[in-house]
């Protein structure tokens, strides 16, 4: 049974206003029209709609809460969650290459495979890696027993493979000119090449200053 409260990121005693706010926020984030009709966002959007339609209706919410409570009582909550398997068909891949992952958990009522989101207790997913971070792509499997408030996590790291050195050089060169994420140290998201250039100029200015002082 799906946990609609978890889908919306709200507590079990959430008010009608809390439900509406959560739905508005998530529906904007995951709407297919804003995400190039990506299947992943489409699935999440349908789950969010399903959760809202149930929890926003008083009678449907009451019946849902009763069924959820009954399921929770019958679930083996005294046993901590466990991960039996979590594997990928390859741990070295090129950008755009197809990856297949499989997982199986036990005694977990909430299962997430990041960066994808909520999943069934066991399953398989096929996807393509469109972007690596520092040459790596991280997958995390979260298995949670919500009554015991226990979660276990297992990860898989897939390393980027380049066909040849020139491709690797081009990829790194492209990264130098790409706009970066905004941070405290880089509030404008300047590309690495600009920040490197500024650092070199500052270094040269400092060297020039010391040379001038030393000569005088």
110 and 128 housed in the same domain: yes
Q: With 60 as the cut, is the pLDDT of residue 82 above it?
A: yes
**How confident is the model over 182-198, as a mean pLDDT?**
73
Residue found under tokens 């999943």: 119
Strands 136-145 and 150-160: antiparallel
Round the CA-based radius of gyration of the chain to a whole number and report it. 24
Q: With 60 as the cut, is the pLDDT of residue 76 above it?
A: no
Count of domains in the chain? 2
Residue 19 lies in a domain: yes
**How confident is the model over 10-19, as a mean pLDDT?**
91
Quote the CA–CA distance of 212 and 216 in Å, as a whole number: 6
Cα 202 to Cα 96, 141, 186, 206, 213: the distances in Å are 39, 45, 16, 6, 17
Tokens describing residue 144: 């949670």
Q: What is the CATH number of the domain that holds 66?
A: 1.10.287.110
38 and 19 housed in the same domain: yes
pLDDT digits (tens, 9 = 90+) for 35-74: 777 777 788 888 899 999 999 999 999 999 988 877 766 6
pLDDT of residue 25: 92
Q: What is the CATH number of the domain that holds 100?
A: 2.60.40
């Amino acid at each position: 049974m799906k946990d609609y409260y978890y889908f919306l990121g709200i507590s079990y005693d959430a008010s009608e206003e809390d439900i509406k706010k959560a739905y508005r926020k998530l529906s904007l984030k995951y709407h297919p029209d804003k995400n190039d009709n990506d299947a992943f966002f489409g699935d999440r959007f349908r789950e969010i709609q399903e959760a809202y339609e149930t929890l926003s209706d008083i009678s449907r919410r009451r019946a849902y809460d009763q069924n959820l409570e009954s399921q929770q009582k019958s679930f083996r909550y005294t046993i901590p969650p466990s991960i039996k398997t979590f594997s990928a068909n390859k741990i070295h891949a090129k950008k755009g290459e197809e990856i297949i992952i499989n997982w199986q958990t036990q005694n977990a009522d909430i299962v997430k495979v990041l960066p994808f989101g909520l999943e069934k207790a066991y399953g398989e997913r096929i996807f393509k890696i469109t972007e690596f971070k520092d040459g790596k792509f991280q997958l995390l499997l979260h298995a949670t027993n919500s009554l015991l408030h226990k979660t276990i996590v297992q990860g898989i790291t897939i390393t980027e493979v380049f066909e040849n050195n020139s491709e690797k050089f081009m990829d790194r060169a492209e990264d130098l000119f790409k706009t970066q994420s905004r941070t405290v140290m880089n509030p404008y998201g300047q590309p690495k090449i600009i920040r490197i250039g500024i650092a070199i100029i500052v270094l040269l200015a400092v060297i020039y200053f010391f040379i001038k002082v030393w000569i005088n």
